[in-house]
């Protein structure tokens, strides 16, 4: 979520004459609003809500599947934006104008990978717990 608010691309004109950075909300056409910042912020909020719910209640496989989907969605948006920003930087850069990829997209990638890692760990933990509970209750386990 933080990655949406920090620079996604950095632009500078001449040797220190003017510089501009744009975040995930400002990457629309002609410096208009972009949906990507809103989408990634929304995914971050949903991911945090799922994490809070998971700490307070018994976690089910459905919540963990939702976390996996959120992480993959955020990663897909970040990779697509990195490709688009890199292509824009290559095509629009000139001796007077320099465009660089900002660190915000890398923060989004790191956050998406962290969500994926947490979801995979949670999936293993829940699966292990289900197996333990089935053994305790005497139900034959078909997972193993």
**Tens digits of per-residue pLDDT, 22-33?**
767 766 555 556
Query: Is 23 in contact with 37 (CB distance < 8 Å)?
Result: yes
Average of per-residue pLDDT across 126-135: 79
pLDDT in tens, 57-99: 666 677 778 888 888 988 998 888 888 878 877 777 677 777 7
Rounded Cα distance between 34 and 26, Å, is: 6
Q: Could you tell me which residues are beta bridge partners of residue 12?
A: 19, 98
Rounded Cα distance between 61 and 143, Å, is: 14
| Domain chopping of the chain, boundaries | 2-137
Two tokens, residue 136: 């305790």
Rounded Cα distance between 103 and 93, Å, is: 18
Query: Is 104 in contact with 5 (CB distance < 8 Å)?
Result: yes
Which range has the worst mean pLDDT, 11-25, 72-86, 123-137? 11-25
What pLDDT was estimated at residue 143? 53
Between 93 and 46, name the one with better pLDDT. 46
pLDDT at 106 over 70: yes
């Amino acid at each position: 979520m933080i990655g949406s608010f920090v620079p996604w691309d950095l632009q500078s004109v001449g040797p220190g004459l003017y510089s501009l950075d744009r975040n995930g909300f400002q990457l629309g056409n002609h410096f208009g609003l972009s949906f990507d910042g809103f989408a990634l912020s929304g995914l971050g909020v949903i991911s945090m809500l799922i994490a809070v719910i998971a700490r307070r209640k018994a976690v089910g496989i459905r919540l963990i599947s939702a976390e996996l989907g959120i992480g993959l969605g955020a990663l897909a948006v970040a990779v697509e934006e990195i490709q688009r920003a890199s292509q824009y930087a290559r095509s629009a850069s000139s001796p007077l104008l320099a465009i660089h990829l900002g660190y915000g997209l890398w923060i989004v990638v790191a956050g998406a990978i962290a969500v994926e890692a947490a979801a995979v760990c949670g999936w293993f933990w829940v699966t292990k717990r289900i197996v333990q509970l089935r053994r305790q209750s005497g139900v034959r386990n078909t997972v193993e």
